[in-house]
Amino acid sequence: MAQSQARLTRQAQIVRRLRARGLDSSLAEQLLHEHARALELLHESRRLLVYDFADSSRAEAERQRLLEQVEREPTFLEVVLQHLPAGVLIVAAPSGRVLFYNGHLSEVLGRAEPSGAPSTPDRRNGRFPFDRALARAVARGKVAPGSEVAFKRRDGTRGIAAVHSAPVRTAAGEIIAQVAVFQDLTERKTAEARIRRLALHDPLTGLPNRALLLDRLGQALAHARREGGLAAVFLLDLDRFKEINDTLGHPVGDQLLGAVASRIAGAVRASDTLARLGGDEFALVQPKLAQPADAAALATKILGTFAAPFQLDGHEVHVATSIGIALFPQDGPDPDVLLKNADLALYRAKAQGRDRFRLFEPAMDEEAQARRRLERELRQALERSEFVLHYQPQLELATGRFAGVEALVRWHHPERGLVPPGAFIPAAEASGLIRPLGAWVLREACRQANAWHGRGWELSVAVNLSPAQLRQNGVLPMIGEALVATGLDPARLELEITEGVLMENVQHKGDGFLRGLAADGVRLAIDDFGTGYSSLAYLKHLPVDTIKIDRSFVRDLGRHPRDETLVRGIVMLGQSLGKRVVAEGVENATQLSLLRELGCDQAQGFFIARPQRAEQFEPLLGG
């Protein structure tokens, strides 16, 4: 009884409100009971009545008049809704008739009306800042709270908004309207997409990074398992990229990486994934292979793309690549093993001359384990001081006295005995251990030479510098530190650099390093002369003191006149340029005699003396 009375009281209040707006009492009651639903929204003790009139010819005029009056006299709640920092939409349920929307909704959806346009719907021309389908979806409860809707702006661009909607019910529980609040997420979603892209792509080349590569590789392997096919993983490493960076600068190096990415991408299928792992290392996933030959064919195609030079910032750059390939399933069951084995194949390609590809073979894994074991033992050898120096004397042919020695490192292995440098120097270079090992060799050789000088033996000492040492920074400081620490006169230290490495460094880095040595008083020797195609112009201007004739020219002296002619030419060339000439690899008396006749300055080899410990060599010095 009380509820019924309250409903009648509420209806009477609504009728009074309608009559206050000038509506006939009987018409007001009819509108209330037959043609309208009343939505009461309470806000700070004030009520806003929004009426959704049914299509009725009798009510149309009054409906239109009331709407125009509402537009002329906005309520307090309308003013509040207009200032909310979000788009607000109120629609009748279930018809979808738009009862109200604020100006922010136009901004959110990008369909703003001309300045001064009303915020309530314009029934005359049907203009709304949103699609009518959206209003109907909201009215029928098809837009879940917190859902996201995509929309198209008036300028044609697309956006996305979060929608929070809630029903408006009568006291009896009937849903008579839906209120929806829109928040523009377009900028946030764009930023999130950009962050996701940065997280999965290389910023320099735009290619996928390692994380995305692993995801694509996992998909390729899953497909191969389902379909019973093959998949391939490629690892690519640019040959001598560091030299380009060092000589032309990092900006040109970055341009080269971008150009390389474009060339490789042009050679692969759309279904393949090309990624940059970092530095000058790229990776490629090739799914859905019919046979291993398909991977080899693609590798050949990629190598061919490097035939033409790269034009970069006014520089013509020639660069090649080495490629290692591992196949699924025979070379590994998962991405980690496949990448490891592709890396082993890449190592083999580089070791065999670069600018080529190699498919993984099980023997490569055994070799890698042996390399890792050797590297571990080398580290231990440095810690345990297992390295020793042997010295091979250099005989002055005109006087018959020893003028100097060449220092040669040996490894006194606790199990294998004396290990020659050819068995461990390449591993030291590949692992970076050549830096501490080279520093120890230089310091120990200088110490020994200075000790001999203190005992009255005026011997110079020659130390070999490896290509890996010259590629590293800090060679000059290392030499200076050794001389200061041992007190050796710089003029008694000679550094030997092979002809090929010397020419390579001069062409790419200039002669600053050599000039620095000369300024400090250290002497420089070209080792293996005749094998590296030296330019006579370089020999004329470089601060080189000694030319060492390669043993391959000395070996057949006395048997082939051609070799005698070559050696004579080298001796004459060296002496005409003011260089001392030393012959290596002297193994018999005939060779020594001919070298003396040809005017060679010095000689060394097993016939004269084998490399030996300092204490073994000293008796040959006498005194």
Least confident of 74-78, 192-196, 431-435, 484-488: 74-78
pLDDT in tens, 169-210: 877 888 888 888 888 888 888 887 777 777 788 889 989 999
Q: Please tell me whether residues 535 and 415 are part of one structural domain.
A: yes
Q: What is the pLDDT of residue 16?
A: 62
pLDDT band at 126; cut points 50, 70, 90? very low
Q: How many CB atoms lie within 10 A of CB 18?
A: 23
pLDDT band at 25; cut points 50, 70, 90? low
Give me the CATH number covering residue 402: 3.20.20.450
Is the pTM value of this prediction over 0.75?
no
Q: What is the pLDDT of residue 245?
A: 82
What are phi and psi for residue 542, nearest 5 degrees?
Answer: -75, 150
545: which 2 tokens? Answer: 């003191």
What is d(CA 434, CA 466) in angstroms, rounded to the nearest whole number? 8
Q: Please tell me whether residues 591 and 466 are part of one structural domain.
A: yes
In a domain, 366, yes or no: no
Least confident of 1-10, 265-274, 440-449: 1-10
Q: Between 277 and 87, whose confidence is greater?
A: 277
Q: What is the pLDDT of residue 17?
A: 59
Q: Which domain holds residue 36?
A: 1-73
The arithmetic mean of pLDDT across residues 91-103, rounded, is 81
Q: Please tell me whether residues 168 and 269 are part of one structural domain.
A: no
Give me the CATH number covering residue 312: 3.30.70.270
Q: Is the pLDDT of residue 606 over 90?
A: yes
Q: Is the pLDDT of residue 426 over 50?
A: yes
Q: What is the pLDDT of residue 510?
A: 58
Q: What is the pLDDT of residue 125?
A: 36
Q: Please tell me whether residues 297 and 435 are part of one structural domain.
A: no
Q: Please tell me whether residues 18 and 130 are part of one structural domain.
A: no
Contact present, 244 and 286 (Cβ < 8 Å): no
In a domain, 516, yes or no: yes
Of 360, 377, 405, at which residue does a domain stop? 360
Q: What's the one-letter identity of residue 144?
A: A
In a domain, 365, yes or no: no
Q: Is the pLDDT of residue 428 over 60?
A: yes
> How many domains is the chain built from?
4
Q: Between 22 and 219, whose confidence is greater?
A: 219
The arithmetic mean of pLDDT across residues 353-377, rounded, is 90
Q: Is the pLDDT of residue 152 over 80?
A: no
User: For the stretch 371-391, what's the b/e string if a residue is b when 16 or more beta carbons lie within 10 angstroms of its beta carbon?
Assistant: beebbebbeebeeeebbebbb
Q: Please tell me whether residues 24 and 127 are part of one structural domain.
A: no
Give me the CATH number covering residue 193: 3.30.450.20
Most confident of 2-16, 284-298, 494-508, 521-535: 284-298
Q: What is the pLDDT of residue 583?
A: 94
pLDDT in tens, 289-318: 989 999 999 999 999 999 999 998 888 889
In a domain, 370, yes or no: no
Torsion on CA atoms 55, 59, 62, 67, rounded to nearest 10: -20
In a domain, 377, yes or no: no
Of 159, 178, 199, at which residue does a domain stop? 199
Q: Please tell me whether residues 414 and 507 are part of one structural domain.
A: yes
Q: Between 40 and 549, whose confidence is greater?
A: 549
In a domain, 367, yes or no: no
Q: Please tell me whether residues 446 and 406 are part of one structural domain.
A: yes
Q: Please tell me whether residues 40 and 130 are part of one structural domain.
A: no
Q: Is the pLDDT of residue 55 over 90?
A: no
Quick one: what percent of the chain has pLDDT higher than 70?
Answer: 80
Q: In what order do the strands lie in the sheet with 158-169?
A: 98-101, 87-92, 175-184, 158-169, 147-152
Q: How far is CA 568 from CA 209, 216, 423, 573, 580, in A?
A: 58, 63, 34, 9, 14
Q: Is the pLDDT of residue 156 over 50?
A: yes
Q: Please tell me whether residues 451 and 588 are part of one structural domain.
A: yes
Q: Please tell me whether residues 352 and 499 are part of one structural domain.
A: no
**Residue 110: left (phi > 0), alpha (psi -120 to 50), or beta?**
left
In a domain, 371, yes or no: no
The arithmetic mean of pLDDT across residues 554-577, rounded, is 88
In a domain, 581, yes or no: yes
What is d(CA 553, CA 566) in angstroms, rounded to the nearest whole number? 7
Q: Please tell me whether residues 391 and 307 are part of one structural domain.
A: no
371: which 2 tokens? Answer: 């390399």
Q: Is the pLDDT of residue 85 over 70?
A: yes
Q: How many CB atoms lie within 10 A of CB 30?
A: 15
Of 199, 228, 253, at which residue does a domain stop? 199
Q: Is the pLDDT of residue 19 over 70?
A: no
pLDDT in tens, 103-123: 777 777 665 443 333 344 433
